[in-house]
Structure 1
Amino acid sequence: MAFASFEQDDDGPMAEINMIPLIDVMLVLLIIFMVTAPLLTHAVKVDLPKESTSANQLPPENIQIAIGPDEQLYWAGEKVDADTLKARLQEAAAKDKNAEIQLRADQNVPYRSVAHVMSEAARLGLTRIGFVTDPSAAK
């Protein structure tokens, strides 16, 4: 920024803008807005009662399916055949699509038996499938 001196060679007007008055005006406006902004809120102080509420949502049903070492199917501990399993899966899917299947399979069961139960459940819309294992046996 060039400063004007008392000795001017040039008789033309000064081409620089003096920023000091503009900064002073902006600071004054900033202070005015900072002081008046809290006064613009017209809130009524009310002491509201405090209660705890929550939606009553039942957890989704768990369907226990087991596959024994001889590829025998069990529904909640009851021995069933493939057709009965399919019918019960249809009933469960009609009742609740969010039901979780907890599948217990013997470690010697061929994967095709497990895949058959999983694909039948997925085809009916039961996509939440959990595999149950025995954590104490793992070492």
Structure 2
Amino acid sequence: MKRRRLMSEINVVPYVDVMLVLLVIFMVAAPLLTQGVEVKLPSSAASPVSTDRKPLVVTVDAGGKVYLQDETVSLDRLLQAVSTARQDQPDLQVLVRGDRDANYGRVIEIMARLQAAGIQDVGLLTESPEPASS
């Protein structure tokens, strides 16, 4: 009687299949994870500002809601978070992204409150205008 030898090799084909399926799932899901606050920025012919330090971004949407780094915050919480960040980084730059349709007074109110909280480097984010086609 012949005895069968045990197979001591691992069949990796099912593992490769599973890895390919996971790769496809992550490729599809990754762009969905980077969603931010949707705002229509006004355009400006000003040249881009380059900075070595990473600024805090405050966003005001068309409805007047305020976001800090894409997270909804109240105005008091915003000032508290910015003051805390300023203690860690004294030369902190804050950029305000105001939606084109946002109330101008609301954007200015936020900028004034930030400056009153001691942030001297407050700027506005805009889009570059589309080049005119001839």
User: For this structure pair, what is the TM-score category when the shorter chain's length is used for normalisation?
Assistant: 0.5 to 0.7
Tell me the equivalent position of 2:76: 83
Rounded to whole Å, the distance in 2 between the matches of 1:138 and 1:70 is: 29
Give the number of equivalent residue pairs. 81
**2:108 match: secondary structure:** helix
Deviation at 1:119, TM superposition (A): 1.3
Alignment partner for residue 95 of structure 2, among 102, 121, 128? 102
Deviation at 1:114, TM superposition (A): 1.1
Any conservation in 1 of the 2:58–2:95 contact (CA below 8 Å)?
Answer: yes
Rounded to whole Å, the distance in 1 between the matches of 2:77 and 2:123 is: 21
Rounded to whole Å, the distance in 2 between the matches of 1:113 and 1:138 is: 30
Alignment partner for residue 92 of structure 1, among 73, 80, 85? 85
The residue identity in structure 2 corresponding to 1:100 is Q
Deviation at 1:60, TM superposition (A): 3.6
Any conservation in 1 of the 2:79–2:117 contact (CA below 8 Å)?
Answer: no
Runs of 4+, deviation exceeding 6 Å? none
Alignment gaps of 5+ in structure 1:
1-58
Any conservation in 2 of the 1:99–1:128 contact (CA below 8 Å)?
Answer: yes
Any conservation in 1 of the 2:58–2:97 contact (CA below 8 Å)?
Answer: yes
Rounded to whole Å, the distance in 1 between the matches of 2:80 and 2:97 is: 19
Tell me the equivalent position of 1:135: 128
Tell me the equivalent position of 2:118: 125
Question: More relative contact order in 1 or in 2 (CA 8 Å, sep 6+)?
Answer: 2
Any conservation in 2 of the 1:69–1:109 contact (CA below 8 Å)?
Answer: yes
TM-score (structure 2 length as normaliser):
0.54
Residue 63 (1) aligns with residue 56 (2): yes
Cα-Cα RMSD? 1.8
Relative to structure 1, is the Cα distance of residues 136 and 91 closer, same or farther in structure 2, using a 3 angstrom cutoff? same
Alignment gaps of 5+ in structure 2:
1-51
The residue identity in structure 1 corresponding to 2:112 is S
Tell me the equivalent position of 1:17: none
**1:87 match: secondary structure:** helix
**2:62 match: secondary structure:** coil
Give the % identical residues.
Answer: 17
Any conservation in 2 of the 1:72–1:79 contact (CA below 8 Å)?
Answer: yes
